Amino acid sequence: MTRYCGRDFSFEEFEKIRTLITNNPVFTRAKLSREVCRMFQWLKPDGKLKDMSCRVAMLRMEKDGLIRLPVPTNVKKPVKKIKFTTATDPQETVVCKVNHLPKLHLQMVTKAISSLWNEYIERYHYLGYTPLPGAQLRYFIRAGEQIVALTGFGAAAWQTAPRDRFVGWNHDQRKKNLHLVVNNARFLILPWVQSKNLASKILSLTTRHLPDDWEARYNIRPVLMESFVQKDRFAGTCYRAANWILCGETKGRGKLGVGGKISIPIKDVWVYPIEKKFKVLLKNS
């Protein structure tokens, strides 16, 4: 067995993939990944093909000399640099208590306003903009009509020791139920907005609304949220105030880090149980 993208592949399955490639010389890489998903019933929890994970897995198989893929048909376009526009220019400073702001509400990001969310994040978030992995929801947080903050949720980390110890699940349980965890990948209060307790109020607002929104879009209801907060930048005070739970810190190695060597900033791991019986649901085999 060899593991790629969270799935174990047997010697017999590698043979089937090689046969599929040999017998279908006109298939593109994308077509092959879809066929492999169908062949092995590699599906997302909502029943759709897990073809993007399969495509990555097949690229890694080729790199390891296990298969030989056809020449790519599409030339990869260079990543387009986000240009800043007047739409995201700094505004007048807002200084007031959170209960003196106009009523806060979430605006889910749609295709029509996606580029605006990306621009704000690239311009003002210390990590900049990168596409969120897998299933995702992004929001503008408005006080009345004014945008005061942005937040984004995506797929959970494949594994992180503090969270996994907190849940108490084993490898197979995590593999089966990880889709029930969502990751708060971006959280930005715009720099000209200074309002005490605004961050914790936004977290409380999103934890109330996201489960319904996620279920409406993906037909999956998450039971746990997670977030990684960089220790040398933030104390995580707003997460604590919003009743998130600090369950440990990362080792600073990242996905590709060498064992025992810190290669990326250490982060605190915060979690928020959406359902009371989240551990039972996540450990369901």
Q: Can you give the CATH number for the domain in which 257 is found?
A: 3.40.630.30
Q: Is residue 79 part of a domain?
A: no
- Supply the DSSP string of the chain, one letter for each residue: -EEETTEEE-HHHHHHHHHHHHH-TT--HHHHHHHHHHHHT-B-TTS-B-HHHHHHHHHHHHHTTS--PPPPSSPPPPPPPPPP-GGG-----EES-GGGSPPEEEEE--GGGHHHHHHHHHHHSTT---PPPSS-EEEEEEETTEEEEEEEEEEPPS--HHHHHHHT--HHHHHHHGGGEEEEEEEEE-TTEE-TTHHHHHHHHHHHHHHHHHHHHHS----EEEEEEETTT---HHHHHTT-EEEEE--S-TTTPPTT---S--EEEEEEESSTTHHHHHT--
pLDDT of residue 256: 46
Q: How is residue 200 written in tokens?
A: 């914790």
Instruction: Spell out the residues 6+ positions from residue 281 whose beta carbon is closer than 8 angstroms to its own.
Output: 177, 180, 223, 275
CA distance 237 to 137: 24
Domain boundary among 14, 30, 63: 63
pLDDT of residue 99: 92
Clarify whether residues 186 and 217 are in a common domain: yes
What is the tens place of the pLDDT at every residue in 135-173? 899 999 999 999 999 999 999 998 999 999 999 999 999
Clarify whether residues 106 and 57 are in a common domain: no
Q: Is residue 76 part of a domain?
A: no
Question: Angle at the Cα of 79 (from 76 to 84), degrees rounded to 5?
Answer: 160
Distances (CA, A) of 125 to 204, 208, 241, 256: 21, 24, 22, 24
pLDDT of residue 275: 95
Task: Give the structural domain span for 151.
Answer: 86-282
pLDDT of residue 258: 47
Q: What residues of the chain score a pLDDT lower than 70?
A: 75-79, 253-263
Clarify whether residues 139 and 265 are in a common domain: yes
pLDDT of residue 104: 96
pLDDT of residue 7: 87
Give the global pTM: 0.78
Q: Is residue 75 part of a domain?
A: no
Clarify whether residues 43 and 96 are in a common domain: no
Clarify whether residues 105 and 244 are in a common domain: yes
pLDDT of residue 217: 93
* Domain total of the chain: 2
Q: Is residue 77 part of a domain?
A: no
What is the tens place of the pLDDT at every residue in 57-74? 999 999 999 999 998 877
Clarify whether residues 91 and 10 are in a common domain: no
Clarify whether residues 39 and 148 are in a common domain: no
